[in-house]
Amino acid sequence: MEKTAKIAVIMVSMLSVYSGGWFLREKGGYRRSGEALILLGAIIYGSGIFLIGQIFNIRSNWPDAFLLWGIGVVVMGFAAGSFSLFYLSIPIWILGIFTCPFGILGAISDYDPFMMTSTLLIFAAFAVNFCAAFFIRKKAPDDVKDIF
């Protein structure tokens, strides 16, 4: 299978699951089924990040994919207004942050541009995570606030 066909399969599956989830949740009256499809779309998004990295042999630290996936899931959580996406982002952030080699934090002082992207992603992950937690806490219904 060609590279463009592989990317097309990833994109079409992700977009169709997201749109099906939105339609079921907003128009069809099936809130739980729609939420489940939106959650599945976020999982397809994460697998798409890893698969595109393999297809094009992108040279990067593999924990960076978890950090990018986490940022995308949080953004989609805000866009869709789905708390299940925020719950999915918690283990993704944990995997992304704690699997990064902490020696790369010295890349800023050494000015290694390749390693500096991982360092900047870690700081971006912390910033997005804490901002998301603040806004989620404000918007969450009272029965959900006990979980946070």
Q: What is the pLDDT of residues 55-66, one digit of tens each?
A: 988 877 777 888
Interatomic CA distance for residues 74 and 70, integer angstroms? 6
Indicate the SS3 state at residue 23.
helix
pLDDT for the residue numbered 81: 84
Residues 34 and 91 in one domain: no
Residues 82 and 148 in one domain: yes
Please give the tally of structural domains in the chain: 2
Residue 136 pLDDT class (50, 70, 90 cuts): confident
Residues 44 and 83 in one domain: no
Identify which has the larger pLDDT, 32 or 117.
32
Indicate the SS3 state at residue 51.
helix
Interatomic CA distance for residues 39 and 74, integer angstroms? 12
Q: Enter the tokens of residue 64.
A: 């960076």
Residues 77 and 117 in one domain: yes
pLDDT for the residue numbered 148: 46
Interatomic CA distance for residues 73 and 91, integer angstroms? 11
For the cut 70, the answer to whether the pLDDT of residue 119 exceeds it is: no
* Domain stop point among 12, 35, 58: 58
Q: What is the pLDDT of residues 32-90, one digit of tens each?
A: 899 999 999 999 999 999 999 899 888 777 778 888 898 899 889 888 888 889 889 88
pLDDT for the residue numbered 45: 96
pLDDT for the residue numbered 117: 61
Residues 126 and 136 in one domain: yes
For the cut 60, the answer to whether the pLDDT of residue 113 exceeds it is: no
Residues 143 and 105 in one domain: yes
Residues 67 and 135 in one domain: yes
Structural domain that includes position 42: 1-58
